[in-house]
Amino acid sequence: MSRFLSPEAACLAPYTPGEQPVDMQYVKLNTNENPFPPSPKVVEAITWGEVEGLKLYSDPACGRLNKAIAARYGLEPENVISGNGSDEILAFAFRAFCGTGRGVAFADITYSFYRSQAALFGLEAAVVPLREDFSLDVDDYMDFSGTVVIANPNAPTGMAIPRADIRRLLEANGERVVIVDEAYVDFGGESCVPLVEQFDNLLVVQTMSKSRSLAGGRLGFALGSGELIAALNRVKYSFNPYNVNRLSILAGAAAMEDGDYFQSCCQTIRDNRAWLTGQLEELGFAVLPSQANFVFAKSDKLSGGGLYRGLKRNGVLVRWWADSGRIEDYVRITVGSMEQLERLIAEIKTMLEEGS
């Protein structure tokens, strides 16, 4: 550790991204990327003239992008903020709505970035255990007076809770902010966007990395009351006003406007998820009920680590968390193309046969 590191930085709990290896060609089912390319409209939008425009700063207000997002969800542009991935939006929210005397609560098994952000900003964090079946019960958060963050569907479990449960949480205390992280909602969850105009303490965070195939474009956004969005912009303009580049603004707007392509890709992933779940269950796996573009599964014949390492040796990547307590025997598998999933199942069958 560097001798120049500040005591505050030494206490951080950095997020660990999924592997991005370059030593060989893998079937990559470990980082929940979309197997399909972005909308053709994205390609049309990024012209040579727009590339030449990179010599100029991007629009700090992300006007074109925010207008497209607002139109998609029936809101006004002042209800939208865009960022460099939803991670940046979440960081803005942690800084804006948490601090001295106002901590943050999130589940023990969820997106680990929340823990990293709590450490980065020196926040008091209440870590709330999921139930034994990995479900999240909003009643466990009712008495918490600080900011509540809920991934819905949750990651890495893929399980979702109904909008009505979030409504109960919002109604219970209108003086706290509830952040609903809907990174995976387009694959089957029930979005809380319809509640935005009813509750000024609700912030819905989404990403274009998953359902709109723009993981490399680094685009996320949040929807909320004008008051909440103004607070986020206060943080943004204190940190990085030009946070979304010119080409990503164009790509995001084009992807948001192509509803037919979006719906087609999401439906295919839902169909592929059902096929994958059925195949794994036939092989004896326990698979949690997922509403995301991944499944969370374990085998009674292969340990989580053994499955991860065996698949990696044979060119297939899945996500596994070592030394992770009650999820150590699980792996998270991205729902890819049918060709990718058939390869995965074939490799697992071989491993099971060799094990027997």
For 106, 206, 240, the CA distances from 137, given in Å and listed in that order, are 11, 22, 36
Query: Is 355's pLDDT higher than 60?
Result: yes
Q: Identify the DSSP state of 133.
A: T
Average pLDDT, the chain: 95
pLDDT at 156: 97
Question: How crowded is the C-beta side of 271, counted as CA atoms within 13 Å?
Answer: 8
Q: Is the bond preceding residue 153 a cis peptide, omega within 30 degrees? A: yes
CA distance 319 to 32: 9
Q: Identify the DSSP state of 295.
A: E
Q: What is the pLDDT of residues 107-129, one digit of tens each?
A: 999 999 999 999 999 999 999 99
pTM over 0.85: yes
Three-state SS letters, 26-82 = CEECCCCCCCCCCCHHHHHHCCHHHHHHHHCCCCCCCHHHHHHHHHHHCCCHHHEEE
Query: Is 192's pLDDT higher than 80?
Result: yes
Q: What is the pLDDT of residues 13-62, one digit of tens each?
A: 787 777 777 766 889 999 999 999 999 999 999 999 999 999 999 999 99
3-state DSSP: the chain helix, strand, coil percent, rounded to 5? 45, 15, 40
Q: Band of the pLDDT at 7, cuts 50, 70, 90? A: confident
For 72, 117, 176, 255, 345, the CA distances from 44, given in Å and listed in that order, are 20, 37, 43, 11, 36
Q: What is the pLDDT of residues 214-241, one digit of tens each?
A: 999 999 999 999 999 999 999 999 999 9
Domains and CATH numbers, the chain: 7-37+260-355 (3.90.1150.10), 40-258 (3.40.640.10)
Query: Is 89's pLDDT higher than 90?
Result: yes
pLDDT at 168: 98
Phi, psi (deg, nearest 5) at residue 61:
-85, -10
CA distance 102 to 229: 19
Task: Out of 10-19, 97-106, 149-158, 291-300, pick the least confident.
Answer: 10-19
Closest by CA to 291, choosing from 155, 110, 114, is: 155
For 20, 52, 81, 158, 187, the CA distances from 32, given in Å and listed in that order, are 12, 32, 24, 11, 12
Q: What is the pLDDT of residues 236-254, one digit of tens each?
A: 999 999 999 999 999 999 9
Query: Is 260's pLDDT higher than 90?
Result: yes
